[in-house]
Structure 1
Amino acid sequence: MPSGRVHEAINLTVLGALALLGLEMQGPAFWEDPRLLPFALGYLGGTFLLSPDLDLAEKGVRASRRWGVLGLLWRPYGWLFRHRGLSHTWVLGPLTRLGYLAFLLALLYGLLQGVSLLLGASWTLALPPWPEEALWAALFGYYLSQWLHLIADGIFPDHDLKRLRRPR
């Protein structure tokens, strides 16, 4: 199986090829597409921060080291999912990492709300509105980065179906 560096090199090569293809097809207008930045952020986030290898609970794994000290927060994720198990599936795997990240952010939000109540302060979280197409572009970029990782690991879309059809 490829190392983390190889996975990253594959993903960055494909991203560069996609950029060249888009530039060739659309010309300079390609850089003005409002979906480009969300796609690239989703893709790079999926490549470097939300790698399928976060299911390795061991200390010092490249996928969790990218988070620095916060990499410790991904240890329970590794305990929940065995390596190349559910977390290495085509649809649910990336969804488990997004769900786990949402859970961590909700915990942080709750903690900050609790501290602000103790201090007698109040605040609200105001997120800027995102166009729906930007969210879809970011999600597609994220999933594409995950799928490239799985293909490099030799896991193809029909992987789970083959396992289900196999007699026990």
Structure 2
Amino acid sequence: MPSGKVHNLINTGAFLLIAGGTAYAKQQGHIDPSIPEILAFTGTFFVGTFMMSPDLDLAEQNVSSKKAWGPLGFIWVPYGKMFSHRGLSHTWIVGPLTRLGYLTIILAALYYIVTALLPDLKTRLTFENVPRTLEFWQPYILGYYISQWLHLLADGVSPDLRAISRTFKKKKR
């Protein structure tokens, strides 16, 4: 299995191919991504590659994704203890969601602690202006998930298409 550095190189190489393909498709008039969409995709792709890789399930060790958090790397140790390596955290749909959910819980706890200590700050920290459309969030989701999927492919974890098709069949009933 590839090391963290190899995963990062694979993802960076793939990103260069994606960027080149996107630039070519834009030049040919096939697509027209906006600068904010490009930045959203790029940002979440690199956060997913360097800071939130599936190998955070090894966060009690010294993995590169934990190191990327610097002094805050310790926040991922409980995540590493909750998930066994190559278990649920290395699945195609739920795995990336476990990291997003875990980080959301940490940030929500921090928000509630800070606003409890500084109640005046609560009026300034609102989320009213955050867009709630899939169109807005799509480049963020794609950037993050593609970075995760490249990691899983390099680890030899193929998508479980049978499980996905079973899910859709259940919904049809």
TM-score interval, smaller chain: 0.7 to 0.9
Separation (CA, whole Å) in 1 of partners of 2:97 and 2:132: 21
Shift of 1:122: 4.3
Select which of 75, 79, 86 maps to 1:73. 75
The structural deviation recorded for 1:116 is: 1.0
Task: Tell me how far 1:73 sits from its aligned partner.
Answer: 0.7
Match of 1:145 among 140, 144, 147: 147
Aligned-pair CA distance for 1:12: 0.7
Aligned residues: 158
Q: Which residue of 2 aligns with 1:51?
A: 53
Shift of the 109–89 alpha-carbon distance from structure 1 to 2, 3 Å rule, reads: same
Contact 1:39 1:134 in 2 (8 A): no
Mean CA deviation greater in 19-28 or 137-146: 19-28
Gap runs ≥5 in structure 2: 164-173
Aligned AA (2:122) = W
Q: Does the 8 A contact of 1:38 with 1:134 survive in 2?
A: no
Name the counterpart of 2:18: 18
Return the TM-score normalized by structure 2: 0.83
Unaligned runs of 5+ in 1: 162-168
- The answer as to 2:111 corresponding to 1:109 is yes
Q: TM-score, normalised by structure 1?
A: 0.85
How many percent identity over aligned positions?
Answer: 45
RMSD, matched Cα: 2.1
3-state SS of paired residue (2:122): coil
Distance, in Å, in 2 between the alignment partners of 1:24 and 1:122 is 46
